[in-house]
Structure 1
Amino acid sequence: MGQGSIFFLKRPYLVAAIFLALLTSVFAFSVLEIGGEDALTRYQHGLPLRVGYALEAPFVMLDADGDVTGEAPEVLRHVLHTLGLEHVVWLHGDFGSLIRELESGRIDIIAAGMFVTAKRRERVLFSRPTALIRPGLLVRRGNPLNLLSLTDFSSQSGARLAVIDGSIEQQQAHAAGVPGRRVKFFPDEVSAMAALRAGQTDGLLLSAVSLRYLIDRDDAEAFELVAAQTEQAPGAPAFAFRRQDSRLHEQVDQALASFIGSAEHLQLVEKFGFVASDLPRATEESER
């Protein structure tokens, strides 16, 4: 027996430590290898699909039991079920951080009523849109500043506009020339409506379907919904995927093709305030 063998026999704890270190390294390497693969391969290894969401009713909300529901989760659940992808976990985040979470690999799909834009398309793959959404402007009852359009927030020096941070409405406000100092950012519609109710802002720019849903279930007497006069085309919310997850993106998009705009689709989402005119035709692609 050599001196090296005697050395290890006298120090069994050292042998155990080295063995444990080697085992940990192998396990870590395996995890990294799985993490480097696309979402469908990870799913085949027994790992769940991770869906990121942000709360904005009626696109995403929590039901009485605390489960994630709303237009986006229910449509995605339906599609994943048809694809046999049932092992799913839902991860909450601020809307403005969801694309970063997707790019970093912490989530696999965004289901949050996120609108398709050219800038976002540079970073993610979008499915075909699940709805066509027009903007709305929420003000306090009586509309004390007579705010009827985004241009009113530019012409009236004291008018303050609330938007959800990272939302398409934030971009619309900028495109309409609303001064940045008059735009207030909020992480979700609940905090934005609370600020409007408290007089900290004078209007909330959000999708009309979201605002209709919110005032129907909140203090309808405190608010008034006016049509936001913008030249923007209707927004097109869709599911977002990492660019390397083209297989998952294609499978979901193909499953959506025959579902979007169907009677079954309308029946699924009408409880969230969506009507037939809010839905694209089944063959309509996400060109927005």
Structure 2
Amino acid sequence: MKFAYLIEPPFNDRTESGDIVGCDVDLARHVFAELGIAAAEFVETSFGELLPGLNDGRWRMTTGLFATDLRREAADFSRPIWALPDGLLVRDGNPLGLTGYRSLAASETGILAVIRDQFQHHSARKFGVPDDRIAVFETYSDAATAVRDGHADAYASVARAHAGYLDRHSGLVLDVIEVPADEKPPAFGCFAFAKGDDRFREEVDRVLAAYLGSPDHRRMMHRYGFSDREVDLVVAAR
């Protein structure tokens, strides 16, 4: 059993000692234990390889992804495992006074960093950020570094990922601006599977249905900074 992930705390991360941690990998470990899978291998990859790797058999399940209509053409998805608003990572003090995608589009000069083909890349275009003001990166750390070094004015990802990154890098002089729900509501993330792997996906969903919202699950999510309100959104999506 191979599970693909990318470095994006608090979902997945690697400690200085090399341990793989995060709410997605911890949840996957619980699922595998309940299914009697003792020899799971966690494979670090890039965002752009997650779905292709499912379809060519490099791994059987991936970290949580937004289950968009386009992605559903390439893969199948579990029930939701988290629900999160987007956020903008900006320099300290928010020099451009950004409040969300619309404000960045209206700024005329603001440069937005995104990860290639992530949901936020498409959201930026939808809200009018022109392509010549979207800087595309392959990894979270590269996009965050661009903001830190002044090569981009903001980096769009999920707000929780930004908060997790800043928790791990407390010396960085950066802030997180949560995109308001009336501009873009929180979106659901799900584990991804290859098309046709229905029996395994259904087994995973069975374990998730019994575990999500339980006291043990809430304690795990609290460790990674999630609130009960955020957990309740997932429980209600059953």
Q: Aligning the two structures, in what range does the TM-score lie when normalised by the shorter sequence?
A: over 0.9
After superposition, what is the alpha-carbon deviation per residue over 1:196-240, rounded to whole angstroms, capped at 9, x for unaligned?
Answer: 010000001111111112222314661122222363331211110
Across the aligned residues of Structure 1 and Structure 2, the Cα RMSD in angstroms comes to: 1.6
Find the aligned partners of 2:236 and 2:210 in 1 and give their Cα distance: 8
2:209 aligned residue (253, 257, 265): 257
- Name the counterpart of 2:42: 90
The answer as to whether partners of 1:259 and 1:282 remain within 8 angstroms in 2 is no
Q: Tell me what 2:91 maps to.
A: 140
Please, which of 174, 178, 198 is the counterpart of residue 227 of structure 1?
178
Count of aligned pairs between the two proteins:
236
Alpha-carbon offset, residue 278 of structure 1: 1.6
Unaligned runs of 5+ in 1: 1-48
5 Å-filtered alignment, 1:84-233, equals 84-111=36-63, 113-219=64-170, 222-229=173-180, 231-233=183-185
User: Does the 8 Å CA contact 2:82/2:234 hold for their aligned counterparts?
Assistant: no
Q: What SS is found at the alignment partner of 1:205?
A: strand
Matched ranges for 1:33-48 at <5 A: none
User: Which structure carries more strand by proportion?
Assistant: 2
Q: Given that residues 112 and 153 in structure 2 are in contact (C-alpha distance below 8 angstroms), is that contact kept between their aligned partners in structure 1? A: yes
Q: Displacement, 1:283?
A: 5.7
Map of 1:284 onto structure 2? 237
Q: Aligned with 1:101: secondary structure?
A: helix
Q: Where does residue 227 of structure 2 map in the other structure? A: 275
**Structure 2 length-normalised TM:** 0.93
* Alignment correspondent of 1:63: 15
Give 1:175 shift. 1.3
SS for the counterpart of 2:38 is coil
Percent identity reads: 31
Structure 2 Cα separation of the partners of residues 154 and 282 of structure 1:
34
Deviations 1:3-48 (A, max 9, x none): xxxxxxxxxxxxxxxxxxxxxxxxxxxxxxxxxxxxxxxxxxxxxx
Q: 1:156 to 1:114 in 2, by over 3 A?
A: same
Moved more, 224-233 or 172-181: 224-233
TM-score normalised by the chain length of structure 1: 0.78
Q: Distance in 1 between matches of 2:201 and 2:55?
A: 14
1:240 alignment partner in structure 2: 192
Aligned twin of 1:266? 218
Answer 1 or 2: higher relative contact order, Cα 8 Å, separation at least 6: 2
CA–CA distance in structure 2, aligned partners of residues 168 and 283 of structure 1: 23
Once the 2 structures are TM-superposed, how far is the Cα of residue 267 of structure 1 from its aligned partner?
0.8
String of CA shifts for 1:151-172, please: whole Å, max 9, x gaps.
Answer: 2222222210011222111121
Q: Unpaired runs of 5+ in structure 2?
A: none
Cα pair 1:137 1:208 within 8 Å, conserved: yes
Letter in 2 for 1:169: Q
Matched to 2:20, the amino acid is: V
Larger Rg: 1
Distance 2:72 2:159 in 1: 24
**Secondary structure of the residue that 2:151 maps to in structure 1?**
coil
CA contact (8 A) 2:32 2:40 kept: no
1:213 match: secondary structure: helix
